[in-house]
Chains A and B, each alone.
Chain A
Amino acid sequence: MIKNYLKTAFRGLWKNKGFTAINVLGLALGLATCLLIVFYVFDELSYDRYNVKADRIFRVNNDIKFGGNQNSYAVTPAPAAVALKADFPEIEQVVRFRRRGGNQVKKGNQNIQENLMIYADPSLFSVFTFPMIKGDPATALKDPHTVVITESTAKKYFNNIDVVGKVMTFNDTAFYKVTGVIKDIPKQSHFNFDFFMSMSTIGESTQEAWFNNNYTTYILLRPDADYKKLQAKFPEFMHKHAGPQLQSVLHLTFDKFEQSGNYFKLSLFPVTKIHLESNSVAELDANGNIQTVYIFSVIAVLILLIACVNFMNLSTARSSNRAKEVGVRKVLGSARKNLIAQFLIESVIVTLVGAIIAVFVAWALLPVFNDLSGKELIITPQIIFRLLPVLSIFVIVIGCLAGSYPALYLSSFQPIEVLKGKLAAGFKGGLLRNVLVVGQFIISIGLIIGTLVIYNQLKFIQKKDLGYNREHVLIVWDTWTLGNKAKTFKQEVKQLAGVQNVTMSGFLPTSGYSNSTSLFKSPVLDQKQGVLSEVWNVDADYVSTLGIKIIAGRNFSDKMGTDSTALLVNESAAKLLAFKDPLNKNMYIPQDNMAKVMKPFHIVGVMKDFNFKSLRENVTPLIFFYSEDKGALSIRTKSADLKVFVDQVKNKWGELSPNQRFNYSFMDKDFDKLYNSEQRTGKVAVSFTSLAIIIACLGLFGLAAYAAEQRTKEIGIRKVLGANVATIVRMLSKDFIVLVLIAIVIAVPIAWWAMHKWLIGFAYHQDVQWWIIVAAGLGAILIAFIAISFQSIKAALSNPVNSLKSE
């Protein structure tokens, strides 16, 4: 019996090649997209799972509210780790990371800039799973000035991995002995480093400073411990450890501190959730976004739905062709369940073929998808093999889902009626089919609107006046490697033709460097007078180079001797400080952990707020110190030929420092990078939307073909009676266009609502624009019309004699 079904199915599919192609192609495209998204989602969900003890590893987060500012930090005070382990038996192990930027690493005569470097406690290897190929994980990183490197780093510097005992030179001044080589850290990790230096190298790591937050701390729980219960004990822990220091600094008990609305609390964050759900200050690496995962998953399901709907629609539209077969089979004694089984088998076959093609399509599209999504996914036969059971279930479920309606519909035919040809009008009156087409177009139009809104928002961000000018600014990084010659470099660059202004500071609106400090309005520490603000060290040229506006007072000046203690505040800071006139008011900063010395500063000017963080966030208080920071040199140029200009700057660099690498970027490009994740989501969304529309149009194209076929006789008669081509095209298109119009009416409010919610995530956004709605609607109508008219015109142009003869 099965053999008979298969035979009929294959021959039937072969006979209707066009129909089959549309069905298989639509399903294949839908499944391929789905497959890619499934890979993407699995990849995102697999972060940090490479750790054998992943379920027991937690990062200690730190939520601080102080001085009108509140934030969640991914870093803790240095002594927290040791104290945690000592106080709580449920903690098996702790490990800390301390980030201190990159170093120049010597290879032969050449210095190579390395940024993936971190200081780590020796307990690193008992918490995280980093298989050590060479060296002893128990002793590596115990001694100061030791380093554990990854396999590929070993190969990069030594051409082999047998390098334990060798010495590496950092910045020409520091020497580290290699004590271990580990396997490269998997890509699916929320941090990625090539060098782990021993924490004992830095003396600061053992200081009892409870109010400096610089250490990323991870704990490994014992198997039977409950992290929520442990977390509940943290407030008491903070009272015990941070309390005494708070008392001596702010002359305040922890209780008082909290009563005034401030807090300083530790919490635990599961390591496996960091990548998708954590967005704290001082993350070790840019994290993913659970929202993107949700968006993509929803898109995948929607595309698959569109493809399934195509299948249902085309199968039922074709029902008149199948009716006779159903009738005959019923007359010959087939029960309805046999027919249902037959049609389901048929649709499972189509799905199976679609799935096989989909695997190849996904494989072929993978480089493009990786490029779009910024992933490095691979499809190997092993992966496919492992996916096989899931894929098979998928095929059966999708096949049955797509085939269910046609199967029930077709098997319900009454044999006498179909054999008498009473069911020839299989096309009209397909209410469900119309509903399905409308559904497809709701999805397509929704996706079009979503995509346009994302693009519009990205454009809005790019065009928004940020309060500073990022165009024509060349940034030379790591100028600190020039040491004393950094100033000379600045002077010499200033002399170059086309240079308008030059400023030296690593703190840039696009660099992501962050540094916050508490400032006080009075020399006697009073927490009510405290303000927690972002503070940047800049020179006198900073404001003019970046085109920041001063709205009160003046800029720093090297001619004013007193400016070494001058401050520039932005409007937000001025507002938070709540001085009537902030100019010439004093601010005090504690000079040590115990706040025994308070250094006075005075405000000389107020800057207009500028967006120094992502536009997702509002402008927060920012204070400039007139102080040296050699992190980077920003050059405003009017030079037309930037390539030549970069070469000129590079030559100057080479003259001063032939061994150091010349690192540069352009500020506008750096700015765009801040929105990489949105750009990516946008690009992926555009691709998926296009696919969804293509699949929906494939279906529409097929439906139109059947509609035209069904009405061949009608078209013939109309033509004989004098109808022209335009009339007939209009007649055939009208039914479909009405469906698209209904879809627009339903899709617009839903899409508007969803995108409105997405936009609210941006502090600065432009709400859904009317032109987007119009463009999406008109676009959908136009695309649908093109898909239909191809068939309608063909039908309208056919010779009526032929169509009438066929009756």
Chain B
Amino acid sequence: MIKITDLEKFYRTEEVETIALNKLTIDVKKGEFVAIMGPSGCGKSTLLNILGMLDDPDGGSYVFNGVEVAHFNERKRADLRKHNIGFVFQSFNLIDELTVFENVELPLIYTGVPSSERVKRVEEVLDKMQIMHRRNHYPQQLSGGQQQRVAIARAVVNKPKLILADEPTGNLDSSNGNDVMELLTDLNEHGTTIIMVTHSEHDARYSHRIIRLLDGQTVMENIMI
């Protein structure tokens, strides 16, 4: 499903050029659950941003579902993104002015799903995430765990083929964290490909495979059983 080859990314300031990704090559198959680990500044988030088509690489190839996307323009990337990829962030990133229901509904609006269909699908996913009773609350009124459920609901409502999760449990206590990991696992078991960046060995154990990065390069791959 994802095949990146010799991927490069540099960050430049006036004096220094930092290499974030150094000829990185990774292969992720459909239905896989991959954890990416490594120390701060190893390029994890950069990789995730490129995989999520939020950022473009400076070199190398990125084939998504058999299509070379490395040099797509912003509009094409946005289009591909909204139909295929869901995001889960460490800090949830819900819109404060919108209710739980409306936050989850947002991706459907951008993909042009008709209103009645939207209600059905949002209710379905809220139900699945067990936050139906909170549908009319605003993000500030929810606990961190609940907010992350909403964020996951929003990520999956469009039935994306790939979910990119950036430290999804980073802001949660262990109990809420475990719940979130269970949810992701469940999604994965139903066929969604998941790539997750994490610092937590505990969380990484939920995945099939751990890719460890250091200075923008793969240093080790663990296959979990």
Q: Which residues of A contact B (CB under 8 A)?
A: 1, 4, 7-8, 11-12, 15, 324-325, 327-336, 338, 415-416, 419-420
Contacts and interface: CB of A to CB of B under 8 A. Distances in A.
Contact of B107 (A12, A332, A335, A416): A332
B96 A331 contact: no
Nearest to B111: A333
B82 interface: yes
B211 interface: no
A8 B111 contact: no
6 contacts: A8-B97, A330-B54, A332-B82, A336-B74, A338-B110, A416-B55
Contacts of B107: 332-333
Interface string B79-122: 10111000101010111111000100111011100000000000
Contacts of A419: 89, 91, 93
A334 to B, nearest CB: 6
Nearest to B77: A333
B178 interface: no
B141 to A, nearest CB: 13
Contacts of B98: 4, 7-8, 11
Interface string B47-84: 00100101100000000000000000011001101110
Contacts of B91: 419
A12 B82 contact: no
B104 to A, nearest CB: 11
Nearest to A333: B82
A328 B110 contact: no
A334 B79 CA distance: 9
Nearest to B74: A336
Contacts of A325: 95-97
Given A328-B93, A333-B107, A416-B54, 16 more contacts: A4-B98, A4-B109, A7-B102, A11-B97, A324-B95, A327-B93, A328-B94, A329-B110, A332-B154, A333-B78, A333-B110, A334-B78, A334-B110, A335-B78, A338-B110, A419-B93
B54 to A, nearest CB: 5
A340 to B, nearest CB: 14
A773 to B, nearest CB: 43
Classify the secondary structure of A's interface with B. Answer: helix
Contacts of A11: 97-98
Given A324-B93, A416-B55, A4 B102 contact: yes
A420 B91 CA distance: 9
Nearest to A334: B110
A390 B110 CA distance: 34
What are the nearest 7 A-B pairs in CB distance?
A333-B82, A11-B97, A333-B110, A332-B107, A12-B97, A8-B97, A328-B93
B81 A333 contact: yes
Contacts, number: 65
Interface string B29-47: 0000000000000000100
A419 B166 CA distance: 11
Contact of A329 (B52, B55, B74, B106): B106
Contacts of A333: 78-79, 81-83, 107, 110-111
Contacts of A330: 54, 78
A327 to B, nearest CB: 7
Contacts of A332: 82, 87, 106-107, 110, 154
Nearest to B164: A331
A347 to B, nearest CB: 16
Contacts of A420: 45
Contacts of A329: 95, 106, 110
A177 to B, nearest CB: 77
Contacts of B79: 333
Contacts of B95: 8, 324-325, 328-329
Contacts of B111: 333
A330 to B, nearest CB: 7
Nearest to B81: A333
A332 B78 CA distance: 8
B197 to A, nearest CB: 13
A15 B140 CA distance: 12
B102 A335 contact: no
A15 B96 contact: yes
A58 to B, nearest CB: 63
A193 to B, nearest CB: 63
A7 B105 CA distance: 13
Contacts of B75: 335
B68 to A, nearest CB: 21
A146 B219 CA distance: 114
Contacts of B83: 333
Contacts of A334: 78, 110
Q: Which of A7, A336, A416 has the most CB of B within 10 A?
A: A416
A419 B52 CA distance: 14
Given A325-B97, A333-B107, A416 B102 contact: no
Nearest to A332: B107
A799 to B, nearest CB: 23
A419 B94 CA distance: 11
B142 to A, nearest CB: 16
Contact of B54 (A1, A4, A415): A415
A646 B215 CA distance: 101
A331 B97 contact: no
Contacts of A1: 109
Nearest to B48: A416
B106 A4 contact: yes
B199 to A, nearest CB: 16
Interface string B177-219: 0000000000000000000000000000000000000000000
A329 to B, nearest CB: 7
B87 A331 contact: yes
A1 to B, nearest CB: 6
A15 B97 contact: yes
Nearest to A8: B97
Contacts of B49: 416
A369 B86 CA distance: 59
Contacts of A327: 93
Nearest to A1: B109
Nearest to A15: B97
A415 B74 CA distance: 12
A138 B210 CA distance: 105
B184 to A, nearest CB: 18
Contacts of B110: 329, 332-334, 338
A752 B26 CA distance: 70
Contacts of A12: 97
A12 B55 CA distance: 29
B164 to A, nearest CB: 10
A8 B91 CA distance: 20
B218 to A, nearest CB: 22
Nearest to B87: A331
A737 B106 CA distance: 44
A420 B55 CA distance: 13
Contacts of B102: 4, 7
Residue with the greatest number of chain B CB neighbours at <10 A, chosen from A327, A332, A338: A332
Nearest to B92: A328
Nearest to B93: A328
A324 B96 CA distance: 9
A11 to B, nearest CB: 4
A782 B96 CA distance: 38
A335 B78 CA distance: 7
A416 B49 CA distance: 7
A330 B82 CA distance: 9
